[in-house]
Amino acid sequence: MNADAFETYESNVRRYCRSFPAVFTKALGATIWDESGKPHIDFIVGSGALNYGHNNPAIIAPAIEYMVGDNILLSLDMSTAAKRDFIEAFVESILVPRGLSYKIQFPGPTGTNANEAALALARKYTGRSSVMAFTNSYHGMSLGSLAVSGSASTRELGGVARHDVIRVPYDGYANQAFDSASYIDCVLSDPGSGIEKPAAIILEPIQAEGGMNTASAAWLTEIQRICRKHGIVFIVDDIQAGSGRTGDFFSFEFAKIEPDIVTLSKSLSGSGSPLSIVLIRPDLDVWKPGEHSGTFRGNNFAFVTAGAMCKMWSDLGFTAGVEETAVKLQAHLDRLVAKFPKSIEQKRGRGLMAGLKCSSSAAVSRVHDVAFENGLLIESSGPDRDVIKILPPITITDDELDHGIAVLDQALQEQDNV
């Protein structure tokens, strides 16, 4: 492997290439090949940015057709045919079948751009400055998103103080008996609590980077009720858990809630091309023209691939296949938990967004290394990096899934024998 260019010229900040010392050249579905020709099953898929697999033909074919014409690629927030097609597909295939009604804002192309816009809008709408955020949360790498993220190492980045954030326990944070929703309601209702009413509460239904912590339907429903009671904007960050990752398009569908604002990015384009949107309850859309901006909010290539992705959700065969794959993955993980009690403490996550809480970060590191040697890409999460994060494409074939799990099984067996 020739890595001279990376080691000589690329910044020390690089991370994934250190975990996976190979030069990759091509990918299809759930498989990615390095330049020696060795295949690897991909259980990372761009940290959830490739839910539909690498180079999904249903998504890439219309993009290729678009690219070979003299079509617009960057349009700021001007109206284009590609943007109109995406909006119509998103409304017809995603929002209407779920009984949801939102305005769509196109901020910059990344998830943190969407979260920054959501937080700014909530503050503008309410006239309040503070935001309530949760333990072990992660919302992005720009300053506003860093401020509401939970990890100490993450929050320390940027070198400036972060004010106006109220940190509260996530569902099950202290222990399963502690009702954090009731605590939040209590301190917001008590004028003597010292906690001011925030502009917004922002949360992830599944905390991917925080350790695959999963909120219950009852807790999410109660947080929404509290927001309604106190006049607080309820923001759901569905950047990693959304766009089909849990088996439903939105990760909060199972709880039958309707957040005031939803942020989407990562797999929204279906292709890995940057795209993010902010879904806004219509009466909250108090932006003035041009008040929030971003040069790359008009990525028309991504509009084309995102539109193709949305249409897949109108195919009952596709949605049934995703549900079946989620059931199969969960059954595989249940078997691993039962087989390796020495190494695995708990299964976490939901649907095709799964995690295995292990006995230590060292155990996860050993499993990671053995898995990579045998052709499987996995990563860790959680504040102590002791959770194996499992994110296969939601379109993964049975053979690819079985093979990936078999490699993981072997790696866990070697760890158990240490």
Residue-wise pLDDT tens for the chain (418 aa)? 788 899 899 999 999 999 999 999 999 999 999 999 999 999 999 999 999 999 999 999 999 999 999 999 999 999 999 999 999 999 999 999 999 999 999 999 999 999 999 999 999 999 999 999 999 999 988 888 888 888 765 556 655 566 789 999 999 998 888 999 999 999 999 999 999 999 999 999 999 999 999 999 999 999 999 999 999 999 999 999 999 999 999 999 999 999 999 999 999 999 999 999 999 999 999 999 999 999 999 999 999 999 999 999 999 999 999 999 999 999 999 999 999 999 999 999 999 999 999 999 999 999 999 999 999 999 999 999 999 999 999 999 999 999 999 999 999 999 988 7
The predicted pLDDT at position 153 comes to 56
Pair 120, 155: CB distance under 8 Å = no
Q: State how far the Cα of 274 lies from the Cα of 277, in Å rounded to an integer.
A: 11
12 Cβ contact list (under 8 Å, min separation 6):
none
- Provide the pLDDT for residue 418: 75
Interstrand relation of 39-42 and 261-264 (parallel, antiparallel or unpaired): unpaired
Q: Is 54 strand, coil or helix?
A: strand
Q: Tokens 């030069």 sit at which residue? A: 23
SS3 154: helix
Q: CB burial class (10 A; 0-12, 13-18, 19+) of residue 142?
A: middle
> Tokens for 397?
């074939």
Amino acid symbol at 341: P
Q: Are 313 and 319 in contact (CB under 8 A)?
A: yes
Cβ-proximal residues to 69 (8 Å cutoff; 6+ apart), any chain: none
In whole angstroms, what separates CA 129 from the centre of its chain? Answer: 26
Q: List strand residue ranges (DSSP E) for 57-178, in order.
A: 103-105, 131-134, 165-168
46: alpha, beta or left? (left if phi > 0; alpha if psi -120 to 50): left
State the residue for tokens 């809008």: 121
Q: Which two tokens stand for residue 80?
A: 């284009």
Say how far apart CA 418 and CA 406 lie, in whole Å. Answer: 19
Task: Quote the pLDDT of residue 235.
Answer: 98
Kindly calculate the radius of gyration of the chain based on its CA atoms and give it in whole angstroms: 21
Q: What is the pLDDT of residue 155?
A: 54
CA distance 171 to 189: 19
- What 3-state class would DSSP assign to 9? helix
